[in-house]
Chain A
Amino acid sequence: MIKLSAFFAGLIFGFGLLLAGMANPAKVLAFLDVAGAWDPSLALVMGGAIAVAAIPLNWARKNKQSLLGAPMQLPMKRELDARLIGGSLVFGIGWGIAGICPGPAVAILLTGHGKIIIFVLAMLAGMYLFSLLERRRTA
């Protein structure tokens, strides 16, 4: 059951990105281009998602187990540190260059666009670099 729900959650997430138009990097860039012909769609995507997810996620905060009995694993960190802010700024720069963030990158991986393969390989390399640096830091 827990594996099935994980698969369906991913599938529905992908359908949502496609329907919302967020699988199209050009549309995401049109949102980020506030000084050009601005397409506010992405704000409505986030608004729609948050409106639906707010009650379930707040229920999750108050419970130790999921409905299927899995342990509730929510982030525990509280501090607003340099890693959070610096990392998010770096992510935003990369997002602004190509209009692609991790969700859409995975969702359009097999749609036959060669360019997305290049992006995903570079993204995986970046994540691998992070894990190498983390291992050195904690070693």
Chain B
Amino acid sequence: MSIDWINFTPWTSVGGGALIGLAASLFVLANGRIAGISGLIGSVMQFGSEGWSEKALFLLGLVIAPLLWGAFTLLPEIEIKAEWPALIIAGLLVGVGTRYGSGCTSGHGVCGISRLSARSITATMCFMFAGFATVYAIRHVVGA
């Protein structure tokens, strides 16, 4: 293992993480809800489901964030390396997996670990392990 010191951004990452934590705190303290993005999307896909407008407004805020950011300063770099066949497979797996697993990086990884949920800690270990293994297989076994 070698750390990529050039691209490692400890301060902005801790700061950005703190903002994510602040958003999750606001949502639970004010709305009584977990800021889990996959769950919110799943609910918003069912029109008129419980809390639809609140959940849709959260996602609207998330969608608008880069537009507002970009109105004041330069957006950070966004680079998607995967090509479209891989993106389709990845998207399907992320969609099905997060719904069966009841959450993703935000719901399990941030909110769930914060409240020390055994389910969320287990889920986070599973998707981290699968993510590490997949990148290892693609980059160092197949060599793509």
Contact = CB atoms under 8 A, between A and B. Distances in A.
Given A3-B53, A38-B4, A60-B115, A93 B93 contact: yes
A2 interface: yes
B76 A21 contact: yes
Interface residues of A, number: 115
Nearest to B88: A122
Contact of A108 (B3, B22, B25, B78): B78
A64 to B, nearest CB: 9
A61 B117 CA distance: 11
B58 to A, nearest CB: 4
A41 B54 contact: no
B14 A48 contact: yes
Contacts of B139: 33, 35-36
A6 B30 CA distance: 8
Interface of A: 1-3, 5-27, 29-30, 32-42, 44-54, 56-61, 65-68, 70-75, 77-80, 83-103, 105-111, 113, 115-116, 118-131
25 contacts: A10-B62, A10-B65, A16-B19, A20-B19, A21-B16, A25-B82, A35-B139, A48-B16, A58-B115, A66-B30, A70-B31, A71-B32, A75-B112, A92-B97, A95-B134, A103-B37, A105-B91, A111-B70, A113-B78, A113-B80, A119-B90, A123-B41, A125-B95, A126-B94, A131-B46
Interface of B: 1-4, 7-10, 12-35, 37-38, 41-42, 45-46, 51, 53-55, 57-70, 75-82, 84, 86-102, 104-106, 108-119, 122-124, 126-136, 138-140
